[in-house]
Amino acid sequence: MAGLELLSDQGYRLDGRKASELRKVQARMGVFAQADGSAYIEQGNTKVLAVVYGPHEMRASRGRTLYDRAVINCQYSMATFSTAERKRRPHGDRKSTEMSLHLKQTFEAAVMTQLYPRSQIDIYVKILQSDGGNYSACVNAATLAVIDAGIPMRDYVCACTVGFVDETPLADLSHVEEGGGSSLAMALLPRGGQIALLQMDARLHQDHLETLMEAAMTACKGVSKVLDEVVRQHLQVSVLTGE
């Protein structure tokens, strides 16, 4: 087989998007009542649930208490039914530990932790369906959940993956596209343009890095617009209904 043509000559990708177009993003906040904050997001076929508890006092390991700010505890997991093949996914395997760590770093940069010394904020994210851009969907879902919990942040953290195919940066990669080469994940605080996390495993020539970063920033800003919309809508609804 000739392999897939990720970007056609006419400039369309496999699913009909253009290079810089995002997948359709749909999100809801406050999906669970028992948690302090929760959100559900769909980025194309990637579906993620995020739940936030806290800030509350340190529970498990009191030894890790920080006296000037809150500890952020993240846990990432994938549902057994989240991929095409059903697979048992044990907690704490290398991949999800790494992902948890990345999420932790991202939110430590965004949440104003110094407001809650000696306390802890728990963020749990679960991938319900995976189709590329898992990290970014998790960050976006968690942002909404943190906002839902009413925890102050410097700005939304918006994340997006971008890839590089045929000398063109592609925004918001789907699973097939991720297989096609280098992909870069970026978490951005859009208003100030600060980068909370930047991650790439593949090899890429340094000349291309700048264009790729630029595309990632644009994509993140696109995501932030959608999230902002979701938050405003949610607030309007909850104010109107008096919840």
Among 68, 201, 207, 243, binds another protein (CB under 8 A): 207
Provide, rounded to whole angstroms, the least separation between the CB of residue 206 and another protein. Answer: 8
Q: Which of residues 53-92 bind another protein (CB under 8 A)?
A: 84-85
The 8-class DSSP code of residue 153 comes to B
Q: Which of 36, 122, 131, 148 binds another protein (CB under 8 A)?
A: 131
Q: Give SS3 for 45.
A: coil
Measured distance CA(36)–CA(172) in Å, rounded? 29
Q: How far is the CB of 108 from another protein (least distance, A)?
A: 33
Q: In degrees, to the nearest 5, what angle opens at C-alpha 210 toward C-alphas 209 and 215? A: 100
Q: Which residues of 72-111 are buried (b: 16+ CB within 10 A; e: fewer)?
A: bbbbbbbeeebeeeeeebeeeeeebeebbebbbebbbbbb
Q: How many helices (H) and strands (E) does the chain have?
A: 4, 9
* CB atoms near residue 115 (< 10 Å): 12
Query: Using CB under 8 A, which of 205, 210, 240, 243 touches another protein?
Result: 205
Site string for another protein, 91-130 (x = CB under 8 A): ----------------------------------------
* x/- map, 170-189, another protein, by CB under 8 A: ----x-x-------------
Q: Which residues bind another protein (CB under 8 A)?
A: 1-2, 5, 8-10, 12, 14-17, 21, 23-24, 44-45, 84-85, 131, 174, 176, 203-205, 207-208
